Amino acid sequence: MYADRKAAGDELAGRLKDMALDDPVVLALPRGGVPVALPVARGLGAPLDLVLVRKIGVPGQEEVAAGAIVDGPPEHVYFNEGILRGLGMTQDDIADTVATKRAELAERRQRWLAGRPPIPVAGRDTILVDDGIATGATVRAALMALRDRAPARILLAVPVASQEALDDLSPLVDRVVCPLVPRYFRAVGAHYDRFEQVPDREVTAMMQDAPADGTARNQ
């Protein structure tokens, strides 16, 4: 059990400090991943950025995931072709939904980062952080997008995850850091004493207070 997301981030930071990391960048999946990632970035003296992902739902059936979009650069849009075929749809049928999600990502980057462009990760060890993983669909989309940004290595650092999710995601990364892998996994929040929703204003404040790019290489 973790007291809260900050305590979980402190635990991850302690484990990551023992690794030889090359000019690291820490990337958080908002909202819940941000308070975990902030102590990681501080502990490593690394810059903190966000990876923004939105599920692309089927029009009229938003709970059905037809794909996902990850902000860039480069932007990545993934389609679940099996779902689309099963519904008799094509990518063109959800083009308007993709455009709406793209606009939502741009609005969120403006809101949380004042429009700051993403930190380059090419040639750098890149650490993706979330507060936990149950199924891993969002994390998978983020990892697939990150690979095309040519980082030196990708590390997935999460406080808690199901073994099934880690087995699925491990081939996409160079290393996994996950201190808690329960034999009987429940919801992510069940492994925290405090697991409140993270408001937008807190994400904005934490990102304003996060280490800037260049910190790690100047250590």
Residues 41 and 128 in one domain: yes
The verdict on residue 186 lying in a domain is yes
Which pLDDT belongs to residue 181? Answer: 95
Q: Pick from 97, 113, 129: which residue ends a domain? A: 113
Which pLDDT belongs to residue 217? Answer: 41
Bridge partners (DSSP) listed for residue 56: 67
pLDDT tens-digit readout, 153-190: 999 999 999 999 999 999 999 999 999 999 888 899 99
Split at pLDDT 50, 70, 90, the class of 211 is confident
pLDDT tens-digit readout, 1-45: 899 999 999 999 999 998 999 999 999 999 999 999 999 999 999
The verdict on residue 218 lying in a domain is no
Q: Give yes or no for a contact between 119 and 73, defined as CB atoms under 8 angstroms apart.
A: no
In the predicted structure, residue 117 carries a pLDDT above the cut 70: yes
Residues 22 and 57 in one domain: no
Domain count across the chain? 2
For 61, other C-beta atoms within 10 Å of its C-beta total: 11
Determine if the peptide bond prior to 159 is cis (ω within 30°): no
Split at pLDDT 50, 70, 90, the class of 212 is confident
The verdict on residue 125 lying in a domain is yes
In the predicted structure, residue 218 carries a pLDDT above the cut 60: no
Residues 130 and 171 in one domain: yes
161 secondary structure, DSSP code: B
Residues 6 or more apart in contact with residue 217 via CB below 8 angstroms = 23
Which domain, by its residues, includes 84?
Answer: 53-113
The verdict on residue 36 lying in a domain is yes
Per residue, what are the HEC states of 174-189? CEEECCECCCCCCCHH
Which pLDDT belongs to residue 214? Answer: 61
Angle at 147 between CA 46 and CA 33, to 5 degrees: 50
Bridge partners (DSSP) listed for residue 126: 25, 154
Joined tokens for residue 211: 């280490």
The verdict on residue 46 lying in a domain is yes
pLDDT tens-digit readout, 34-48: 999 999 999 999 999
Residues 153 and 202 in one domain: yes
Residues 6 or more apart in contact with residue 184 via CB below 8 angstroms = none
Residues 41 and 9 in one domain: yes
pLDDT tens-digit readout, 142-151: 999 999 999 9
Residues 142 and 189 in one domain: yes
Q: Pick from 68, 94, 113: which residue ends a domain? A: 113
Q: Provide the phi-psi class of 123: left if phi over 0, else alpha when psi is between -120 and 50, else beta.
A: left
Backbone angles phi, psi at 13, to 5 degrees: -60, -45
For 184-202, what is the mean pLDDT?
94
Residues 42 and 58 in one domain: no
Of 61 and 183, more confident: 183
Which pLDDT belongs to residue 132? Answer: 96
Task: Report the alpha-carbon distance of residue 156 to residue 178 in Å, rounded.
Answer: 8
**Is the full-model pTM beyond 0.85?**
yes
199 secondary structure, DSSP code: -
Residues 166 and 58 in one domain: no
Residues 128 and 204 in one domain: yes
Residues 98 and 186 in one domain: no
Residues 100 and 128 in one domain: no
For 114-128, what is the mean pLDDT?
92
Residues 40 and 136 in one domain: yes
Q: Chain-wide mean pLDDT for the chain?
A: 92
Split at pLDDT 50, 70, 90, the class of 58 is confident
CATH number, domain containing residue 18? 3.40.50.2020
Joined tokens for residue 24: 């690291």
CATH number, domain containing residue 77? 3.30.1310
DSSP track, 54-100? EEEEETTEEEEEEEEEE-SSSPEEEE-HHHHHHTT--GGGGHHHHHH
Q: Pick from 113, 148, 164: which residue ends a domain? A: 113
For 119-124, what is the mean pLDDT?
95
The verdict on residue 217 lying in a domain is no
Task: Report the alpha-carbon distance of residue 156 to residue 175 in Å, rounded.
Answer: 6
